[in-house]
């Protein structure tokens, strides 16, 4: 399925689920005060997302 948000980096299904819970990549980034147009901040957002997936996995969440 094509990505409707061109600023969103490639994500796993688990990452996509979290992003969707926030209402999309832009809203996810805004919740953390990050600017998706700034490469360093977009990278930081992806790292936050990866950490969330890891935590969910450790807690047994799908």
Domain ranges within the chain, ordered by starting residue: 13-56
Here the tokens at position 53 are 């997936």
Here the tokens at position 21 are 């819970």
Per the model's pLDDT, the better-predicted residue between 57 and 3 turns out to be 57
Task: Please give the pLDDT value at position 31.
Answer: 97
Cα dihedral 6→11→16→21 (10° resolution): -70
Burial class from Cβ neighbours inside 10 Å (0-12, 13-18, 19+) for residue 26 reads middle
23-47 residue pLDDT tens: 999 999 999 999 999 999 999 999 9
Task: Please give the pLDDT value at position 48.
Answer: 97
Give pTM, 2 decimals.
Answer: 0.86
- Ranked by mean pLDDT, the top range of 5-9, 18-22, 56-60 is 18-22
Q: What is the mean pLDDT of the chain?
A: 91
Which of 44, 42, 4, 40 shows the shortest CA–CA distance to 23?
A: 4
């Amino acid at each position: 399925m094509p990505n409707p948000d061109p600023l969103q980096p490639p994500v796993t299904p688990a990452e996509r689920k979290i992003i969707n819970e926030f209402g999309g990549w832009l809203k996810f980034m805004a919740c953390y005060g990050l600017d998706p147009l700034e490469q360093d901040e977009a990278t930081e957002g992806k790292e936050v997302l990866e950490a969330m997936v890891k935590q969910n996995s450790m807690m047994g969440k799908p």
